[in-house]
Structures are given as structure tokens and as C-alpha cells.
Structure 1
Amino acid sequence: MRWTFRRLFLGVLALGMALAQGDHGQHGAEEVARRLVVADAKAPVVYVLDLKEGKEVARFSVPSPVDRPGLLRALPGGQYALAVHRNSAHLSFIWGGLGLVDHGDHQDLRLEAPYVAATLATGPKPTHTAVQGHHLAVFHDGDGTVALFDLRRLGLDWRFRQIPTGRPDHGTLTPLGDLLLVGGSESGRLEVYTLEGRRVLTLPEACPGLHGQAVVGRFAAFGCGDGLLLVEGVGQGVRSRKIPNPPGAPQGARVGRLVPLPEVGLMAGNFGQGLLFLRPETGEVWPLALPHRPLFFMPEEGRRVLVISAEGRLHRVDPLRGEVGPGLPVIAPVPQGGATPPLAVGHGVAYVADPAQGVVVEVDLKEFQAKRRFAVGGAPAALALLEVKGVEH
């Protein structure tokens, strides 16, 4: 009788383990889910495209139009986008509907309806934003304050720390370790703050027309009218130095936008008819000419740069090899003074919008070919690509 009971118990236990294995142990392969957030330059509206189904799944009214690429960005984790409404002094945090449920050894993907999670009045004329680690910083040109968010709290609460800098300016900023670097185009100076908001020092180097920043490792760089300002985090402080433009630089060429290429230890900035690359470890800079005037650019996989040119072509630039691809025609040529076409880049895919034609183009980066065109209408001026990995049941 004891043997029979033991055999029955073990049989039930084995059956339970088999059922559990069937439910959780043999889950499907992970897949990448993507949604594209699109903002319009003329109408106060933001909408979300589901890229698997190829259709719009949500549309929202927002406080004011988002009229340039830099005012919409995906946040770390791939689930939220941030829209900056400069003209109405608000920020919108948009939940893209890419839900994840943690099961320990994997995450289940739950596709949900997107929504505006929060609309916040943080200060006058919010413009430049920066994300490093778990911090999001927003500079307000209208009064010089900085709103500092802890991204670990997204969706739980929307509180932020307000840091005054003392004056209005067209500001550029970035967290660097446990410090916050803040500068302005008008002041031409860069200041160092603690994350609690205490001013530590003003760096001695002048940076006229300070604009654009990137961070790679312990280094941050800022664009100046006469070169670059390089800041290195050292212990609890920083050290800085000025890097002049390379000899023979074209008249009027300057860096006003920077992107990081952490996989190759470089930064890339616009520079006249081409790009300028910086190796922060050594301070080495070198230019690379492009066949057409660059309008906007983004990093690709942290090692190359994708550039949309005035000819409507998408170019792939490899800084280590000094190679510029022939260019893929994706949108109509953009006239001088035309709206800047936005570009969003993900793993193996990129999206380019034509604000004049109301079109978004999908590019397969493995084949480097245009795959789909979405006739969205309006004037799509900013894009944010949301991506997550999960198992869809």
C-alpha cells in the first residue's frame, strides 16, 4: 500500500512538472516588437504606427505641434516616447503600448493600446533634452531652469527636480556620472552642477555659440563656434579642454549637433558639407566630406552614422574606414530652408519622414533598401522608434 501511494504521488508530480514545462519551459522565441511615434509640425497631434500590422493604432491631441526632429525622442527601455512642446511649455510622455510581463527566464510581450501617460508643465520654452543612465534632463530656454527626471520612476510618478541656473538662454545639457553639465549659446560657458542642483563650478574655457552634446563613457563633448569643448569625468569632479577645429576647416563650418558612437569610442558632429569625428580618449578630430549637404543624422548600432541629405538620400558613413555609401533615394530633395526630415534608427531598420509629402519610409538596413512607404498625411516632423524584445503567445 505504501509502495502504491508512493508510485501514485510520483506520477502526479511528474505530470505536474510536464504541464509546467509545457506552459513555461517551452515558450516561443523572442521577437522584436516595434511601434513608431510620429509628431506633426502643423497640427497639435501625435500618432502611433504599429509596424508589424503597418497601420495607425492611436492618435492623440497634444498641447502644441512638435515641429522639429529633436523635440521627440524614444526613452530607454523602448516603451515611452517624450514629446517636447516648446511653444506651449509642456512635455508629453507617451506610452507606446509595448507591454512586457517578466517571467524570470523571459518576458512576455503584451500589445496594448497606446496612451498619453502624462502631460506636464515643467517650465517656459522646454527645448533640448538629454538622457544618460537613469536620468532625463530638460532645459527651459525661457528661464534657464532644468527639469531632472528619474527614469526608473516612469509610470509610477511624474515628479521631477527643478534646478535653476539663474538666467534664460538657449541651453544644452547632459548628465555625466553624478554631475549635470549645463551650458548656453548666449553665455558661451559651461557650468557643472550636482544632481541635487548645487552649482559646483564654471569651466574656464569659453565655448561661443555652445550647441550640441554627446557622451561616450566618461567623456562629454559640446559643439562651439570655434571647435569642441571636451569634458572628462575624473573621480568626483571633471577636467576640461578645448579642441580647435581641424586645420583647413571650411569657412563657417562648426559643430552644432553631436551623436555618440560608443561601440567604436567616437563622437560624430555636423561640419559644413560633411561630418567631424572626435576620439575623446586622445582628442583627435578629423573631417569627412559628404557628396551632399547633410540635414540630419543618427547613430547606427553605435558604430556608424546614417545621414539624410538635402538630395533626399540616406547615406551610411563608416568613420573607421572613412567610407561614405553611395546613398539610397528615400524622399524628395529638400530645398534650402525646407523642413528638416526626421530620422529614427533601430536594430536593422530605419525610418525617414518627408514633412512636405506626408510620407514615412521604412528602410531595411541589412539590405539597405526601402521596404515600405506609409502615407500618413500632414507634416510628419519628428519620429521616435519604440522597440522591445519579448515572447508573444
Structure 2
Amino acid sequence: MMQSKVSLLALMVSAALLGGCGDATTTIVEKEPIVEDDHDDDHGDEHSSAGRLIVSAKDANQVSVFDLNDNDLMADFTTVNPVSALYATSGSRYAMLVQRNQDLVEFLDGGLWQEEHGDHFDAFEQDPALAAFTLNDSRPTHITYGEGQTAVFFDGNAVTGIPAGVAVFDEHTVEDDGEYPLLSYNTHMHGAAQVRGEYLLSTVRDADSDSTLPDKIALYHQHDDHFDIELVFDVSCPGLHGSAQNHDFISFACTDGVVLIEQSGNNFTASKIVNTDDFAEGMRIGTLAGHHDNEIFIGIAGTTLFSIDPEDGEMLSIDWQNEDNARPVGYGFVEHGEGFVVLDDSGHLSILEHHDHDHDAGEEASPWEFGAKVHVSEEADSMPEGSGFSMAISHSQDVIYISDLIAGHIVTVDLDSAEITAELELDFTPDKILWLGIGAEEEGHDH
């Protein structure tokens, strides 16, 4: 059974974007079984507009918080273990400090958030602090968002017999150190889940399968503290790895294509777009990205990007002008879904722009066009094994933050000018970075 959360207050310790599951290679690597600050609120119009940057130290139990208005260090916190991945909660108030191999997620309150009051939102600001809320289940791996909620998929552990599971919660749960519903499986799996209000789309794996990857998708319905299965979709998804959602669709990546599940009210219907002739033997999409305000999904298959249009059933390759077969190590939608950025392991940030394309033109063309490329590192060839660049997307300004552990700094890239506009020098080696704060996008949209 999945364990309910356990408070770590007694310990008194202070804790893409392709984190948690390795990189976006064509071959999916399955996870092997493993044999006191001021909290006085100050609300009004004085909140930080730029937000705060969370930076974890390489191979150390430390995360630091910087005020992005002036790049000043606000606080350092000690985590129980070194952080393996950083994710924001659905509203970008809390940092999720994932320590996968130790079955732990700590939460750090960035100290900036807003609350709806009638016809307006009130902004709040306080010092960053570790939250009492934690997750303590086996192998937290994939984190996804939907309708103000966060879903965490726990892979489980084959050696110890701990099954997989999914926890779903919102930021009020974290703030109140509250309870949350759980989906508990009867076997381990390297799966995925997407939350849609009271529904959960999550994976199914045959316990007798030789693969830890699932091959089916089910619809679950929340009932108080748990989820009950309602149906298993009859569209198969062998080697399932990667999922995303937008306003109407939920997508799951398979070895032979992408399964698309459309929601209309309480009805969910599944279909599939199979891989095109652009896929070489052994090539598959292993990572998907979606945005509430864009109907097109983006899939990553090794060094190739694909646009996936659920409405038209199209899968088209994207010319992102990749250099020297560099692999994506970070990605994300920007500019309210009208742009997409890709950080690669050669130290380049590629900026793509979305344009509607004419289906009557006779020639299929991707709706994503190359916009600009920014070179952010001169020393990519010196990157140590097992290390890489990390990227954080601001939701309050059109900027990207990129950490370079070789140079020991973080640069700010302005998306409008496609130039590096600032540099934050560090006295420690950075690893993962994450933006927290109050976004400029409409309330309720997912990051």
C-alpha cells in the first residue's frame, strides 16, 4: 500500500527540464530496481515582480533562494539528501525538492503567491521557508499538472515489493500540511499520470510483463481519499513513456505513436497517431510537452522534435536547426503558449515560434518555425559525465534562466531580443534551477 505523508518537522532540516527520468533520448532507459524564518504576511502591491530563483548545489545537501529583482541571496536551506530534480507546484509557489532514490520530496515555500478575492487577486510576500508537508513514497519520478493540481507518479520498487502509486494535491494542501487522495497500484511501473479535476488519466501495467513500462491507459475517478478505476481505454500504447495535456486533450507517448484522449465534459475518448516515415528504426517519442493555450503538443524523439496536432491527426517534424546532433536537456512553452524553447547539451537555446499553417496549401508544414538561437556556453565540451545545463522559465517576464556548472554562474536570456542580458555569479557549483513567483498568465492556466 502507498504510505500517507509523514511530517519531517522533528528533523528540523531546511531542500523541460528533463529531470527525474534522465534525458530525452530515443531509447527509453527503464529505471532499474534499487537492490526558523519570519512568516509575517505582507500583501498588497509590494510583491516581487521578477520572482525568485531556486538553485541546488551540485552533489550537496543545499538549495539557495535568490531574489530576482536584484539577484541577492535570500537564504540557504539544507535538504535531507542531495536534490535529484526540482519542480514547481501548480501555481509556482512551492519548489518540490525531489530526492528520488531516498523516496522523499521536500517542499520549499518560495514566499510569493496570490489569492482570489472577488473580482481581483491579492498578492502576498514572505520569506522563503521549508514547508512541513512532505511526500514519502517509493521513487517519485514524473510530476505533471492540471487545473491547479499537481500529480506525482511514484514508480515503486520491484525488490522490496512496493507498488507504484499517484498522489494528487494542490497548493492549499501543502500550505495546510493536509491530506490528499492516492491512487495505489498492485505492481511497480515506470508510469505517468495526468490529473483533470476529479479525474485522473494514469497508466496500467501487467504485473507479469518483462518491461517496467506500461502499455495501457485507464480513467480513474476520485472518491474522497482514493481513486476508483472507471475504464481501460482499448487503444494500446506499448512502451509508454511521457505524457502531457492541453485544454481538450491528454497525450501519451508510445513506441509506435502517440495516444490522444479527448475530454468532453465527463466523456473521454481515445485515438492514436502512429509514427510517420520520419521515424528511423528504433526511434520513438519519449517526452511530450503541452500548454493550456496551445492545441499543438510537442514531442521529443532523441534529437528530433515533432508537432502533434490532435484535431487534424497530424505528426510533423520541426526544423529547430539543431547543431551537431545536440540533444535537448531542457524545454518548455513560453509567451502564453505562442513560443517554445529548447536548451541543448551543446550550450544553445533555440527559440521557436508558433504560426497557424494552411492545410489547403498542398504541402504539409509544421506550425512551429525557428526564430532564434542563443549561445549560452563556450565550454560545453568540458561538461563532466552525468552533469549538464539546467533551465528555468520565468512566468512573470519573457526571460529564461540557464545554469552553467562549468562557469559557475547563471545567465538570463531575454526572449524578445534573443540575447543574454544578465549574469549571476555563484560561490558554489550549481546543479538544478527553478523559477517561483506570481505569473503574468491568466489564473488557472498550467505552467
Query: Structure 1-normalised TM-score?
Result: 0.83
Following superposition, the deviation at residue 104 of structure 1 comes to 7.0
Higher helix share: 1
Q: Compared with structure 1, are the counterparts of its residues 378 and 200 closer, same or farther at alpha carbon in structure 2 (3 Å cutoff)?
A: farther
Supply the AA of the counterpart residue of 1:288: I
Structure 2: 5+ residue runs without aligned partners? 1-43, 157-162, 206-211, 356-366, 441-447
* Matches of 2:233 and 2:270, distance apart in 1: 7
Following superposition, the deviation at residue 349 of structure 1 comes to 0.9
**What CA deviation, in whole Å up to 9, does each residue of 1:57-76 have, x standing for no partner?**
11111122223xxx322223
1:168 aligns with 2:198: no
Q: Secondary structure at the match of 2:50?
A: strand
1:96 aligns with 2:110: yes
Structure 1: 5+ residue runs without aligned partners? 1-26
**What CA deviation, in whole Å up to 9, does each residue of 1:10-36 have, x standing for no partner?**
xxxxxxxxxxxxxxxxx9798723101
Following superposition, the deviation at residue 221 of structure 1 comes to 0.3
Q: Compared with structure 1, are the counterparts of its residues 378 and 201 closer, same or farther at alpha carbon in structure 2 (3 Å cutoff)?
A: farther
Supply the AA of the counterpart residue of 2:341: L
Supply the AA of the counterpart residue of 2:374: L
Q: Compared with structure 1, are the counterparts of its residues 252 and 355 closer, same or farther at alpha carbon in structure 2 (3 Å cutoff)?
A: farther
Q: Select the residue among 403, 407, 431 that pairs with 1:381.
A: 431
**What CA deviation, in whole Å up to 9, does each residue of 1:187-242 have, x standing for no partner?**
22222211231012222222222111111112000111121111112342321122
* Matches of 1:108 and 1:261, distance apart in 2: 25
Alignment RMSD (CA, Å): 2.7
Q: Compared with structure 1, are the counterparts of its residues 194 and 373 closer, same or farther at alpha carbon in structure 2 (3 Å cutoff)?
A: same
Supply the AA of the counterpart residue of 1:384: L
Supply the AA of the counterpart residue of 1:239: T
Q: Secondary structure at the match of 1:87?
A: helix
Partner of 1:353: 403
Is the 1:226–1:245 contact (alpha carbons within 8 Å) kept by the matching residues of 2?
yes
Partner of 2:220: 193
Following superposition, the deviation at residue 285 of structure 1 comes to 1.3
* Matches of 1:52 and 1:213, distance apart in 2: 34
Query: Structure 2-normalised TM-score?
Result: 0.74
Partner of 1:8: none
Is the 1:271–1:287 contact (alpha carbons within 8 Å) kept by the matching residues of 2?
no
Q: Select the residue among 294, 298, 302 that pairs with 1:268.
A: 298
Q: Select the residue among 89, 100, 104 that pairs with 1:86.
A: 100
Supply the AA of the counterpart residue of 1:343: M
Which protein is bigger by CA-based radius of gyration?
A: 1
Q: Secondary structure at the match of 1:241?
A: strand
Partner of 1:15: none
Supply the AA of the counterpart residue of 1:329: H
Partner of 1:61: 78
Is the 1:126–1:140 contact (alpha carbons within 8 Å) kept by the matching residues of 2?
yes
Partner of 2:380: 333
Is the 2:90–2:149 contact (alpha carbons within 8 Å) kept by the matching residues of 1?
no
Supply the AA of the counterpart residue of 1:341: F
Query: Between the two proteins, what is the percent identity of the paired residues?
Result: 29
Partner of 1:363: 413
Is the 1:130–1:174 contact (alpha carbons within 8 Å) kept by the matching residues of 2?
yes
Partner of 1:203: 233
Following superposition, the deviation at residue 333 of structure 1 comes to 2.0
Supply the AA of the counterpart residue of 1:289: D
Following superposition, the deviation at residue 368 of structure 1 comes to 1.6
Q: Compared with structure 1, are the counterparts of its residues 108 and 137 closer, same or farther at alpha carbon in structure 2 (3 Å cutoff)?
A: closer
1:343 aligns with 2:391: yes
* Matches of 2:185 and 2:349, distance apart in 1: 39
Is the 1:274–1:287 contact (alpha carbons within 8 Å) kept by the matching residues of 2?
yes
Partner of 2:89: 75
